[in-house]
Amino acid sequence: MYLKKPLWSEGVRNKAAATNEDDDGEPPPSVVSDLVDSLTSQRVFREVTLALRTGLRDARAEFSFLRVRGLRNLLKFLRSISDSDSTIRLFVQTQSLPQLQVVPVLFSNSLRDAEEDNVGSLDHIFGVDPLKITSPSTDSEVALALRVLEGCCLLHRESTILAHHHKAIPVLMNILSTRGALGKGACLDALIAIMLESAPNQLDFESCNGIEEVADLIRDKQVDEYLRLKCGEFLLLLIGHINSRDNKSPMATIHEDIRQLLGEKSASLIWAASQFGSTLDPEQRLTALHIQARRVLESIDMY
């Protein structure tokens, strides 16, 4: 979604400014400005709801290629509103409406386990209603769905609650153990977004032995290097967040877990490196994260 400023709004504002100059410095008519702001807000809200309805309609489709199209549109929409606080607030408002909520659609379609679609009986053969067949999700579809999930949780904190209701952590841990590198990389990013500021999801992650799964991936030299680096970034972000909580996180024992799984030296490096660049701008922080993740990977390979 690309929001454009309506031409009529500029004309009204210019006319109001000209009127102000003719009135010897008197303040411009607030009624006109309020009307323009109100119409603009209504227009943007209509565009937000239209973008969501269009993307969600395709994301519910039976065929994977249609779901991929819907997910791409949703991801493009989330990226387009990420720099506008006012538009983010409108998106947050829409997520209180069940028909516009994104997270439930993701878990009911693209992130749904293929085994749930297995045919349990042949009763449909003798009935009049056709059997609904849904094409399985591809790796690229799953990766797109995880990116959309990540964006929703970062822009709308209550989406983490919706994700918890749909057993997000067990679903994502299953993806982490069964999908390819593309899906696993997106899964690690989504896990971070889901667990930040969400104690229930952190508890689920701990009960699923999530740290052990990530440690197994980063230690395995047969795993793609890209994925191992993503595991390093995941550990750095998770440890950094938990350290900022002053032992109030449900995962306060994670330091000991990492020490046992990766060794004392690697665990110490991860703890020290997780304190990187709190005063840096986002681009510099991302660069620092990549550098520190590679150092973590090198330390694990060394020891």
Written as tens digits, the pLDDT of the chain (303 aa) is: 555 555 545 554 555 555 554 555 555 567 777 777 777 788 888 999 999 999 999 999 999 999 999 999 999 999 999 998 999 999 999 999 999 999 999 999 999 876 655 555 555 555 556 666 788 999 999 999 999 999 999 999 999 999 999 999 999 999 999 999 999 999 999 999 999 889 999 999 999 999 999 999 999 999 999 999 999 999 999 988 887 766 666 777 888 889 998 888 888 888 887 776 556 677 888 888 899 899 989 888 776
Domain that holds residue 220: 209-303
d(CA 121, CA 128): 15
Quick check: is 257 in a domain? yes
CB proximity list for 108: less than 8 A, separation 6 or greater: 60, 166
Closest to 214 in 3D by CA, of 266, 286, 277, 164: 266
Are 278 and 193 contained in the same domain? no
Of 158, 192, 208, the residue at which a domain comes to its end is: 208
Instruction: State how many domains the chain has.
Output: 2
Domain termination site, one of 208, 236, 252? 208
Cα torsion 281, 286, 291, 294 to 10°: value is 160
